[in-house]
């Protein structure tokens, strides 16, 4: 995993707070999380994916980044 820019670190917090319950409140937030994960991880998941394994990878990856960059917030 590459180092994130300051803007991406800020975006981690925003995206994580939208999906931290394991469920995005709307399709836009889900697509935003998938797009962000594609950007930082190099994956190429479709934004409208309903693949459980793909969405779990997105969730777990963003959770890992959040815990890495915001250790006191966990």
| Domain of 42, in residue numbers | 6-69
* Structural domain contains residue 74: no
* Structural domain contains residue 17: yes
* Structural domain contains residue 1: no
* Structural domain contains residue 15: yes
36, 66 Cβ separation under 8 angstroms: no
Q: How far apart are CA 62 and CA 54, in angstroms?
A: 12
* Structural domain contains residue 28: yes
In the chain, the number of structural domains is 1
Mean pLDDT by 10 residues, the chain (74 residues): 90 96 95 97 96 97 95 77
* Structural domain contains residue 16: yes
pTM of the entire predicted model: 0.93
Q: How far apart are CA 34 and CA 50, in angstroms?
A: 11
* Structural domain contains residue 33: yes
* Structural domain contains residue 49: yes
């Amino acid at each position: 995993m590459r180092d994130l820019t300051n803007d991406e670190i800020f975006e981690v917090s925003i995206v994580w707070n939208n999906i931290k319950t394991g469920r995005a409140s709307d399709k836009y937030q889900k697509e935003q999380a998938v797009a962000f994960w594609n950007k930082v991880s190099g994956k190429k998941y479709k934004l409208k994916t309903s693949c459980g394994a793909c969405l779990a990878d997105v969730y777990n990856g963003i959770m890992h980044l959040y815990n890495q960059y915001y250790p006191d917030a966990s």
